[in-house]
Structure 1
Amino acid sequence: MATTPRGTRLAIITPAFHGYHEAFRAAFEAVGADVTVICYDAFTTITEKIRNKAELELPERLGIDRSAERARRLSAPVIAALREIRPDRVLVIKGDALSDGFWEELEAMRIPTIVWFYDEMRRMQFSDDRIAAFDKIATYSVHDAAELDRRGLTVRHIANGFDTFTPYREIGHRSETTFIGAAYPNRIEAMQYLHDSDVPVRAYGRTWSHDWRDRARTWGSDRPAIPAGRDVSRSVAYGIMRGSLASVNSHFNQDGFTMRTFETPGVGGVHLIDREDIAELYEPDREVLVYRDLDDLVDQVHRLRRDRGLADRLREAGKRRTLAEHTMVHRAREMERFFAA
């Protein structure tokens, strides 16, 4: 079992995305690290959010490139924090929004660093030269791990995981099939197809919600004509997944597995996923359900509605597997082994 040497100070530099930074903190503290989390894109006040929209988002929507200024603003407080705390190790999660100045500063400090990609390289802003300069890279993408290894870089495939530290309570009556997350085209198609097939559905997130506040936040973008709720916290999301008949996990041009892959079974939900290679992590028809096309998705939902015993067995087996193999603490231990290698 990998643990961090006593007293090791770890700085985790991460996006604030859905509060996962707190999950990372708790997981690495559980394996013995003294953790400082630095969120590089967190806006703590309404004034900061308004300024960001007015000075960066709006000009970019008008075709004005503000990427350099955005990177500078995000990186300056991170650099200041690193200079102050002088950690023994650094874990940068994603990090492609940070400036060249940040990476140069980190290199000059000569602190052992792992950069953890939980997105595919093709969707990130790193240049090949920047990636080649990284000391160690962890990635959730099997394909990217193989490519980086081919380039001669030090890389490991480390998947996402389930946050066992966030409390939740069951929400719902196990009647709706739900989706929680961004409304990408394939996800809209799946949920719309279920809805048109008279399957009770509900999607959650700012790009699904019909609330005027969410329309304002997303610059008035169109919404699918299906039942929808607003953004929810991860704690509430966990409760919704637990309380749904099933939760859909539809990947968008990805070969890595999203957080939902581990969260839905982790909370005891029924996981409906569109990837047959899930068999590398969970046993189909025993721990999760795989759908191969939209008609199969509808069939799987009807199967669950007919056989509640199947649903109960999936819930129990999926949760058991997740807690045994796929938690954030498991991933923290993998990362500690990588630091030590």
Structure 2
Amino acid sequence: MAGIVTIFGGSGFLGRYIARRLAKDGWRIRVACRRPNEAIQVRTYGVVGQVVPVFCNIRDDASVREVTRGVQAVVNCVGTFDARGKNNFEAVQDEGAGRIARIAAEEGVGRMVHISAIGAGEGSDSTYGRTKAAGEKAVLQHMPGAVILRPSVLFGPEDEFFNRFASMSRTGPILPVVGGNTRFQPVYVDDVAAAAQLGVNGKAAPGVYELGGPDVHTFRELMEQMLAEVQRRRAVVNIPFWLAKIMAGGFNVLNFLTGGLAPMPISPDQVRQLRHDNVVADGARGFAELGIQPTAMEAVLPDYLWRFRPSGQYAEIKASASNLRGGSGRAGFS
């Protein structure tokens, strides 16, 4: 029977999909985030009063306890790519995850779903990967029955992967990437939300699940597929790791000197991550064990990448008109 669930980071990309699914199941949902006034859209996911954004800082025991008290399940979706500041890798992905699990255990919470990432490992050469592994260890220490989900790169209408590079393709004749031969297994955000839903409802066995989509592609292949979808001709140029390391170091220094004002397109830690494939490990439990059929990218990308086409929503109409005039049908490419 559905009760109350707290979703830490529930106003984020994945968290919103989880909230929608659990609301349909009848759960009352606390969406715990640092800026609840900016998350009021989550209220529309259920009936009046069913989904409520609440303030929480996962670096503070009292704050976490306040939103955990009286709930039957918790979901931790909080993650970061920040290496510095108060909300850095260790504070959020290690200590924060452990704090949520410890307080959930102290409050008698029955179920916990923790979102980690493929690549989490104590021996990872990236701080991101090491802190993700430390967070998993802390979660299992306090909540040994937790369900831990390790997705590959997420895609969906609000993603920061395909949308980012599609936006970059609007300017210039080239599209630079780091780790062009690195393999990824992109996974649809709502499929991961479905896995979390099973965990909250007690329909997934405890343990770690690695979640990837039905296809594995190199970074270059993913960019070529994206470019075909947005109907733009761009040269995908692979930046060597040695050069990317120098560039990322420069971005890092500039960002530090400007107090975070200068953008950092890629960080040194991300360069280290891109040296390794981001795919489901052989023998790992995944969607099959959860009874979920993962969604192919081809079924979703056209629904949101169309806005990056030169003719936007009119691209197909223009191509059709071109065919009627005896053209090639590729008039929308630029």
TM-score by length of 1: 0.37
Q: TM-score, normalised by structure 2?
A: 0.37
